[in-house]
Chains A and B, each alone.
Chain A
Amino acid sequence: MARTKNIILLALLIRLSVIPFLYHPDLKTQYFHTQFLSKGVTNIYKYVYDNKPSLPYKDTFNYTPVVYYLQGIWFPVAKFLSPPNLTSWLNNWGPNQNNYANLPWFILTLKIPYLVFDIGLGLYLLKRYKKNIAYLWLFNPITIYALYFHANYDIIPATLCFISIDLFLNTKKARLAGILFSLAVGIKLFPLLFLAIFIKQDKNKIINFSIASVSTLVLLFLFSNLFSPGWLLALTSSGLIQKIFELKFNNIPIFPVLWIITTIFFILKKQFKPYDYLSLTGLLFLSTITYHGQWIVWFLPFFLFTYSSANKYHKFLLIILILSFISRIILYNDVYMTWGHFLPLNTQLLNQSTPFEILSKKTTLSLEVLQNNIKYIQLIFLFIITFFYAKKNNNTN
């Protein structure tokens, strides 16, 4: 117990010492829109459409209504905890928008929900699994980068989705699993990629899970304007929907085809283990899609299980994934992938050359092409290693 407390406090200390000084504009754009809930706006999509000319930030709200309500409910609390000019900063899109001495405190208060889910998942892992899995989650730089540098809410659906799958596979709490899964889907659609996990179990579990998840989704629909045309537009133009069809071979989208094949194999083959399927889905996704940095959080808890299994095939794959993740950060020409995040320390960091710009000056290679080639190499390795792993598993069985 004392050891658990020490671990959590150390994780908390590391996070608290960096969180206020890490910024990404997505944090501001999301809370710019969600602040309107406390002004009585319930349909943000319509509100933005109707008031576009007078709004200081003109982009549409590209997230689900559940996100609007979650962040909208947190906003008054953050406002209470923050110095007085949080609202002024959220509505300032002019030349001085980053010149707020209280910016670190705004960032810290707005990120508290992410911290709660992050530490909560760490505690859950500590209580239910081997300590090394929780350590990997709590003290792994990729977790901190994806969660706090990018300042996105992906940790909330990722935690709900992971706990839901864990409860479903390893306990009898299928109903609770169903509720958590639907909440995760209501926040972000990616958990739908893992739906096959819930098919390969006994009938009673599946029925309980289905009743709970469908009822939760219906309630979410009823309470949060999920049928609003604005939300449907946001859904179809979302990064996830667009990006899964981006990489094509002979006009055939690679990820959907490979994922469907993997899912069919998983459903038909008894020896295909659930966590292997989850990791493979994640690896396929990250090898074929130009993903946002924070999206790695969706799969990270499953990767930790695979990594801690001490299987050399998986370890090799995950090392390739980490290298490719680093290349994704370096080979993308956006200052907010690297030092731009440290803007609260000094706004001059925004004007420094990105690693992409520095490398571009030193090589004649096209860095965009290089990044795509890395993705193909990762995919080839994924195929080779999966083949050997499956062969070895078959021989063992």
Chain B
Amino acid sequence: MLKRIIILISLALILQLILPTLFIRKITTYSVDSSEQIIEILPGNEYKIEIIPSSKKVSYSEILFKNPNLANTEKFYVSVDNIKNNIELSSFNVGDPSWLRFDSNVNLGSDEKYSLTIKNPSSNKNKILLLSDVQARPSIRVISKLTIAESLNNTIKTRIEWTKQTSHAHLLLYFLILAICCIL
């Protein structure tokens, strides 16, 4: 019985705490809701997307998009402002599904946010269709790096939150089955 309890506790620790802490090294937040999946930008105009990162340590931001109406040679210009250290100004070719990544490695202040400005330099009215990620969320993603301590904290918080929300009857039944397996 003792052997089984030790195996069970070790597995639970590895699975519930150690593994997520080791593997979750970046946290992703999304800044656009599904109603804004298509962004229309008139010639010469700008489109501003405000991003409020959940963590202060922004690693990079990504826009996953496609625009079938544009020729490969045309470009949108994206700038990033309101940030202590300037994120490198980027431009990108438009064509097939693609993504744009802003490497940033900056620490934001407690209530700081930043915005992306997308400019359409062509004389045509153009649209960007934001692609959805695996969870069907339109993707302007803000990715923040986590330290091991932050990751552990995030894991513990997630587990506590889950324990509060899940079906308590099933949780109890599950523990009961595990206990029976240990005792028998």
| A residues with CB within 8 A of B | 5, 9-10, 12-14, 16-18, 20-21, 82-83, 93-95, 97-98, 101-102, 104-105, 108, 335, 339, 342, 345-352
Q: How far is the CB of A325 from chain B (nearest CB, A)?
A: 20
Query: Please, how many angstroms separate the alpha-carbon atoms of A97 and B177 in the complex?
Result: 28
Query: Please, how many angstroms separate the alpha-carbon atoms of A101 and B137 in the complex?
Result: 19
User: Which one of A5, A10, A345 contacts B19 once the chains associate, using CB atoms below 8 Å?
Assistant: A345
List chain B residues, Cβ under 8 A from A345: 15-16, 19-20, 158-159
* Closest chain B residue, CB of each to CB of A5: B184
* Closest chain A residue, CB of each to CB of B162: A101
Indicate if the CB atoms of A9 and B181 lie closer than 8 Å. Answer: yes
Q: Is the interface of B mostly helix, strand, loop or mixed?
A: helix
14 A-B pairs besides A13-B178, A95-B137, A101-B167 with CB distance below 8 A are A12-B181, A14-B7, A14-B11, A17-B12, A21-B16, A101-B162, A335-B134, A342-B23, A346-B154, A348-B24, A349-B23, A349-B24, A351-B26, A351-B141
25 pairs from A and B in contact (CB 8 Å cutoff)? A9-B184, A10-B7, A13-B182, A16-B174, A17-B8, A17-B12, A18-B15, A82-B170, A95-B136, A98-B135, A335-B134, A342-B20, A342-B23, A345-B19, A345-B159, A346-B20, A346-B154, A346-B158, A347-B135, A348-B24, A348-B28, A348-B154, A350-B135, A351-B26, A352-B23
Which of B33-52 touch A at CB < 8 Å? Answer: 34
Query: Please, how many angstroms separate the alpha-carbon atoms of A16 and B181 in the complex?
Result: 10
Indicate if the CB atoms of B178 and A105 lie closer than 8 Å. Answer: no
User: Does B166 lie at the interface of the complex (its beta carbon under 8 Å from any beta carbon of A)?
Assistant: yes
Query: Please, how many angstroms separate the alpha-carbon atoms of A130 and B158 in the complex?
Result: 44
List chain A residues, Cβ under 8 A from B158: 345-346
A13-B4, A345-B20, A351-B143 known; A102 and B166 CB under 8 Å? Answer: yes
List chain B residues, Cβ under 8 A from A104: 166
Indicate if the CB atoms of A105 and B135 lie closer than 8 Å. Answer: no
| B residues with CB within 8 A of A | 3-4, 7-8, 11-12, 15-16, 19-20, 23-28, 34, 133-137, 141, 143, 154-155, 158-159, 162, 165-167, 169-170, 174, 177-178, 181-182, 184
A13-B4, A17-B11, A108-B174 known; A351 and B28 CB under 8 Å? Answer: yes
User: Which one of B8, B12, B24, B184 contacts A346 once the chains associate, using CB atoms below 8 Å?
Assistant: B24
Query: Please, how many angstroms separate the alpha-carbon atoms of A82 and B24 in the complex?
Result: 29
Query: Please, how many angstroms separate the alpha-carbon atoms of A352 and B159 in the complex?
Result: 18
* Closest chain B residue, CB of each to CB of A85: B167
Indicate if the CB atoms of A13 and B167 lie closer than 8 Å. Answer: no
Query: Please, how many angstroms separate the alpha-carbon atoms of A82 and B166 in the complex?
Result: 12
Query: Please, how many angstroms separate the alpha-carbon atoms of A12 and B15 in the complex?
Result: 16
List chain A residues, Cβ under 8 A from B19: 339, 342, 345
* Closest chain A residue, CB of each to CB of B16: A345
Query: Please, how many angstroms separate the alpha-carbon atoms of A104 and B16 in the complex?
Result: 12
User: Which one of A108, A339, A346 contacts B155 once the chains associate, using CB atoms below 8 Å?
Assistant: A346
